[in-house]
Structure 1
């Protein structure tokens, strides 16, 4: 029982540290993330964190995976509750914008920030970010294909192009909302996809006329 308790405490410490690492990475960047800084934030010893991650790079990679889990929980999972097709696509986009607007991560979008930070820096961190981004693009394309299969989008649609546009709207909102008027940034991003889907969908009644 003592061993189990220690394992449970260790897992709680690890999870709390990763949550804090994701937050810190949006403020200081992944490159600015360190075990010492994380220990100070959590009020624990650096040696205790060293038991979980033997290097800064290991911590960076673990923070990316934690950010993926948060994205799946707060954005992908709620969207999948919507009916397949254009409504699910819109729900995914709305969930992403709602996540940004809630300011859960004080420094903005984890992935937008880290992709800009590491896009010209070869190595395992960049490779992992590229892999994650590829998975996100594939997920978008899969949802679009479902909408095509359901007859809610044209059969000859360029699926990769629409996936690119959806992600670009979200990325622009993430950036503009930090530097300019956030309400305008989210409004434009919501309207951009809604108008695009209504033009493409044979039954525009599946979608509202304007952003909510």
Structure 2
């Protein structure tokens, strides 16, 4: 086996472990991930699984990073073509709501679930969740500021408050979709976002 092939196969195995862990964590939570379950599902030894990461926490961080990248490609990346400001934000939240309703081995927004799971647990995983949420909040506030400059929103709009309310709609939508199985939740969420982004 050539060294190049070995590196490629190692990377492929690591990616396969992360994908499987992400699927499990979506139903059992990041803390519910067990090396034994992963090893069984992947037909690997426990040592073979953990050897790619070094610790369970490192595996959790890798899974979280994969989820963040999935969210980035699924939500803000699909809104790039929209006009900056309210149009782009409407598109981004629309994509986020769609993402919550999709089934890719799991349902709902993984980041939202992990944020609830680790909100009271200090440590590297919580810090990584905070970084991801801070990045999203920065995206939202930047688009709101652009909307104000373009006179799509009143000049005295409280950007932080509006961002809080928009994210609150998304959190409520995720819970209604996943916990209550409310088929009207996506529509209600989109109406709420539209109402918040329409200038009085």
TM over 0.5: yes
Q: Give the corresponding residue for 2:5.
A: 5
Contact 2:162/2:196 (8 A) holds in 1:
no
Equivalent residues in 2 for 1:54-93, closer than 5 Å: 54-93=54-93
Residues 25, 32 of structure 1: 8 Å contact kept: yes
Could you tell me whether the CA contact under 8 Å between 2:100 and 2:107 is conserved in 1? Answer: no
Residues 105 and 186 of structure 1, relative CA distance in 2, 3 Å threshold? farther
SS of alignment partner, residue 151 of structure 1? coil
Gaps of 5+ in 2: none
In 2, Cα distance between equivalents of 1:137 and 1:48: 38
Task: Give 1:18's aligned residue.
Answer: 18
Gaps of 5+ in 1: 202-212
Runs of 4+ in 1 over 3 A off after TM superposition: none
> Paired residues, what number?
200
Moved more, 158-167 or 146-155: 146-155
TM-score (norm 2): 0.93
* Cα distance in 1, alignment partners of residues 34 and 150 from structure 2: 48
**Distance change (3 Å), C-alpha of 1:140 and 1:162:** same
Shift of the 96–105 alpha-carbon distance from structure 1 to 2, 3 Å rule, reads farther
In the TM superposition, residue 46 of structure 1 has moved relative to its aligned partner by 2.3
Does the CA-based 8 Å contact 2:166-2:196 persist in structure 1? no
In the alignment, what sits opposite 2:146?
Answer: 146
The CA deviation at 1:35 is 2.3
Q: How far is 1:32 from its partner?
A: 0.7
Which residue pairs with 1:112 in the alignment? 112
* 1:36 is the counterpart of 2:36: yes
Q: TM-score by structure 1 length?
A: 0.88
State the superposition RMSD in angstroms: 1.6
Contact residue 23 and residue 107 of structure 1 kept, 8 A: no
1:155 pairs with 2:148: no
